[in-house]
Structure 1
Amino acid sequence: MSDQFKAEIFQNQYLPQGAREVDAIMTITVEKGDSAMGYAPPEAIATTNNGRLFGIICDTSGSMGGDKIHAVKDAMTKIVNLLPDDAHFFIVTGAGKATVVFPVSPATTEKKQEAIAAIKGILANGGTLMSTWLTQALTQFKKMPNAIRQALLLTDGQNDDSDEKSLKQVLLECEGIFQCDCRGVGTDWRVAQLQEIASKLLGTTDIIANAAMIETDFRTILEKAMSKNVSDLALRLWTPQGAKVLFCKQVSPDIVDLTHRNKPVKPQLVDYPTGAWGSNESRDYHFCIEVNAGNIGDEMLAGRASLVYTLNGIETKVAEARILATWTDNEAQSTKIDRRVAHYTGQAELAESIQEGLEARARNDIELATAKLGKAVKLAHESGNEATAKLLKTVVEVEDAPTGTVRLKREVAKEDAMALETRSTKTTRIPKSAN
């Protein structure tokens, strides 16, 4: 039985007279087996992808010396051994310049042993210019253009400020070629720098508080990467003439703003990147579309969202759902807010409150930090986001979660604040009891 894509739209299609904004949550799920509501992608999707290519991009600047570089080398060795036989891989190390420690190769026993021998010779010294690391990785990924391409970038420090322009340029070149998860070891790296890379390359960012945790995190990332089996998918949105897309965001499992990542296909039709998909995966997307206002009783197709696979210029639609708008004078209908729309609006507000609260805390603006983080505690409680609620408790004393009454902790470990910042965009789905 082949994997199938299923698309569902959740919204309140009823609008009061004069209203123009239409909100909708689109849930896309990859399922096993046949489904009358889903589309089975053609066999070409599964068979023409030229395997999986996993790239390791590792910081080897001077700050990575000592226990860190030993832990990283041990973790890389174990990850290489865990690669499945049908995968390909490469290793790039980076400091002030990048080095291809091991070029793209099949994960055969012989090649794995060669790679492990190369890993043993890695040394840590020099500065940090991440643009050079990504440039070398891009060269390797281009060797397998039809593969599912995933990278892991690990660093413990901050990119040199002189590299900012070059980094932005190379990220534009890497976009759409490969995805990249970023991990920071310790607390001397900048969250915003890694988030910029991960966001552009549709990956995740997280903290590895100490070197002993590197191997576990590497294993998790590799397992996720090897579970992907379909690449080159785009979320395509058609809107009627005169309409404007106010935003398009992935809202689960993480918040990723795709609004400015749109690529016009033709008038009224744009594509948003989604990256690769794996079996039994599910994601939610939030569209907000501004349409021309209708009169009472008017109905409109406000949008048509599709998941589209492209191979050699040939497009295949693998899922589709419609976004509707109906104008009514029935106040009970028009004022009702769809539960999922309300939930994910709250999750976005939660992430924003955390980020603003931590920024205020860093400026020693105690009043604003308390208000913002208190609001975050309230939103996390209301939405059932237990993981975020737990992280918030590392920076505030919660006196009453339902009202958001908190006190800032005087002493907060830097790794706790960074963990809250990096994971603030992770969302929880609406509780089943609320469906």
Structure 2
Amino acid sequence: MTEADGLRLDLNAYHSEYLPTEGGTVDVVAAVRAAADGPAPRHDGLAEVLLLDCSGSMGAPQAKMRAARTATLAAIDALPDGVAFAVVEGTSQAQMIYPGRRTLARADESTRAAARRAVGRVAPHGGTAIGEWLLLARDLLGTRADAIGHAILLTDGRNESQRASDLRAAVRACTGRFTVDCRAIGSADGVHDWDGPELLGIAGALGANPVVPVEDLTGLADEFAAVLGRALAHRSGAARLRVRTGGLARVRFVKQVYPTIVDLTARGVTVGDHTTDYPIGAWGPADRRDYQIALEVDAMSSGSRRRVAWLGVPADGESDPPELPVDVEWSEELELFSRVHETVAHYTHQEGYADQVRSALEATRAGRLTEAEQHLGRAVAIAHAGGHEDKLRHLARVAEILDPESGRVRLRADADLRRWQYSMAYAPQTSSWVSGGGAGAVADPSPAPEPRVEPWEHCGELRTHPYCEGCGRHHTSTVDRSG
């Protein structure tokens, strides 16, 4: 459990504890749950930038621009006094809508009224350079480094006015500086001109929030207000998941697996020997996220039991947070080491679906339609086996589902790439695992964090934990059952 800024982050961990004697991979699901732990901080510790797509396509039809203005006004109205904010016009450049110069305004009755008037004057024109919009948001939020920064990005198109490499560079420059929620406008008949992988890359790097397609423009204002409400609840701006391994294990990958799948491996920051922190974004009291940590573990004799890793969620400035242990036992019994923990299986199943949808889109773009049908068929079979009717409805937009159980499908003749984006955006979004599979069930609690002990020497070094971090042996030697 970690506490900071009136917020408590609770950590549970789940995994199958048996390995074959030749070693292998231990998959751990770390469930992080937030809860309020004290009064909410003042709103002057929050900063918001609204990135409004004003490119020419937003005027075709004009209903998109009208809905975008209405949604932005709803967001402005929802800003409490004290929040720092700005509204940006996004075209082939990034220009200020409000305030008139490149700075943040402090929300109050007069600034909200002035922002409303400024938004009412925007009109669609020009191209789309999303990287420029993000860089301006970074600069604006950088003027309030003490605040928790967030942006809402609304677009209806792809990044056609700058090179893809420039967008990637802009995203890298913004990573860790603020979080973003992307809302992508399409038409009511399912045609979307934005690029799913492009927006997923932005969202994944800047907070790992889902990309949400919008086809019903009448609900856009409520959507903006809801997104802003969640952002205003943030009490921690830069939480971290810590993974510490002993000499027997190495990190293969770390992924967020709920509410959306995002690979965090390359973002890890080394903070000590065999210890890495992975950024997990901003948190409010209602937030819950799950992470998968894959550990490559060495071979040992049958019956050996060792502690191979420790997991924690350090608070800001905390160097020695409470930790949960990851224990494993080596066995020659196939029935034991072949078991997959139901939590891990739940997310592996959904990752398989997302991989197949992504591969199907890539094959379609390359003109390999038979291969695309094969990948789509596998995605359909996975969704059907998991009872995910919503995912089947998404795939039915681009393929005729002939037999969901066997995964037999046929690509629709009218399924151009613009109809793929909706499914692409939703593919990495996952359902949360709960113990027993029932709605509202509570997962079994993990073991309590290990106690600190008096320093003891093992493997040639002074140890401060009950287990030797070099070999995993318990300092009382009672856990090793190998004899």
Q: TM-score, normalised by structure 2?
A: 0.81
- Counterpart check, 1:88 vs 2:84: yes
Question: 1:173 is paired with a residue of what secondary structure?
Answer: helix
Quick one: structure 1 residues 201 and 169, their matched pair in 2 at CA, closer, same or farther if it must change by over 3 Å? same
What does residue 373 of structure 2 align with? 370
Mapping of 1:100-139 within 5 angstroms?
A: 100-102=96-98, 103-139=103-139
Q: Which runs of 5 or more structure 2 residues have no equivalent in the other structure?
A: 187-191, 438-442, 444-483
The structure 2 residue matched to 1:99, chosen from 95, 98, 119, is 95
The structure 2 residue matched to 1:64, chosen from 52, 58, 67, is 58
What does residue 420 of structure 2 align with? 417
Q: Distance in 2 between matches of 1:158 and 1:213?
A: 22
Quick one: structure 1 residues 413 and 158, their matched pair in 2 at CA, closer, same or farther if it must change by over 3 Å? closer
The amino acid across from 2:117 in the alignment is A
- Counterpart check, 1:209 vs 2:215: yes
- Counterpart check, 1:53 vs 2:47: yes
Displacement after TM superposition at 1:13 (Å): 1.0
Displacement after TM superposition at 1:425 (Å): 0.2
Shifted more, 371-380 versus 239-248: the winner is 239-248
Displacement after TM superposition at 1:238 (Å): 0.6
Mapping of 1:209-228 within 5 angstroms?
A: 209=215, 211-228=217-234
Displacement after TM superposition at 1:400 (Å): 3.3
The amino acid across from 2:151 in the alignment is A
Give 1 or 2: higher strand fraction: 1
The amino acid across from 1:172 in the alignment is R
Q: Which runs of 5 or more structure 1 residues have no equivalent in the other structure?
A: 33-39
The structure 2 residue matched to 1:330, chosen from 333, 353, 359, is 333
Mapping of 1:285-364 within 5 angstroms?
A: 285-310=291-316, 314-315=317-318, 320-364=323-367
Q: Distance in 1 between matches of 2:392 and 2:314?
A: 36
- Counterpart check, 1:79 vs 2:82: no
Q: Distance in 1 between matches of 2:399 and 2:168?
A: 35
Quick one: structure 1 residues 109 and 318, their matched pair in 2 at CA, closer, same or farther if it must change by over 3 Å? farther
What does residue 35 of structure 1 align with? none
Preserved CA contact (<8 Å) 1:9 1:26: yes
Task: Give 1 or 2 for the bigger CA radius of gyration.
Answer: 2
Mapping of 1:356-435 within 5 angstroms?
A: 356-412=359-415, 416-430=419-433, 432-434=435-437
The amino acid across from 1:134 in the alignment is L
Shifted more, 178-187 versus 246-255: the winner is 178-187
Q: Distance in 1 between matches of 2:435 and 2:73?
A: 42
Give % identity. 28
CA displacement, residues 239-295 of structure 1 (integer Å, 9 cap, x when unaligned) = 123632111001011111101111111221111111111213221110101122222
Q: Distance in 2 between matches of 1:315 and 1:432?
A: 31
Quick one: structure 1 residues 168 and 241, their matched pair in 2 at CA, closer, same or farther if it must change by over 3 Å? same
Displacement after TM superposition at 1:363 (Å): 4.2
Preserved CA contact (<8 Å) 2:43 2:83: no
Preserved CA contact (<8 Å) 2:7 2:284: no
The amino acid across from 1:201 in the alignment is L
The structure 2 residue matched to 1:16, chosen from 16, 20, 26, is 20
Q: Distance in 2 between matches of 1:266 and 1:432?
A: 34
Q: Distance in 2 between matches of 1:343 and 1:281?
A: 20
The amino acid across from 2:259 in the alignment is P
What does residue 199 of structure 2 align with? 194
The amino acid across from 2:314 in the alignment is V
CA displacement, residues 59-102 of structure 1 (integer Å, 9 cap, x when unaligned) = 22222233322221122112111223343321111222211222
Quick one: structure 1 residues 242 and 319, their matched pair in 2 at CA, closer, same or farther if it must change by over 3 Å? closer
Displacement after TM superposition at 1:328 (Å): 1.6
The amino acid across from 1:282 in the alignment is R
Quick one: structure 1 residues 307 and 224, their matched pair in 2 at CA, closer, same or farther if it must change by over 3 Å? same
Question: 1:207 is paired with a residue of what secondary structure?
Answer: strand
Displacement after TM superposition at 1:213 (Å): 4.4
Displacement after TM superposition at 1:12 (Å): 0.7
What does residue 29 of structure 1 align with? 33
Q: TM-score, normalised by structure 1?
A: 0.89
Give 1 or 2: higher helix fraction: 1
Preserved CA contact (<8 Å) 2:47 2:149: yes
Tell me the number of residue pairs that the alignment of Structure 1 and Structure 2 aligns: 422
The amino acid across from 2:205 in the alignment is K
Preserved CA contact (<8 Å) 1:55 1:137: yes
Q: Distance in 1 between matches of 2:69 and 2:110?
A: 19
Preserved CA contact (<8 Å) 2:241 2:312: yes
- Counterpart check, 1:229 vs 2:223: no
Q: Distance in 2 between matches of 1:401 and 1:290?
A: 35
Preserved CA contact (<8 Å) 2:26 2:296: yes
Q: Distance in 1 between matches of 2:196 and 2:15?
A: 34
Q: Distance in 1 between matches of 2:71 and 2:322?
A: 39
Displacement after TM superposition at 1:317 (Å): 6.3
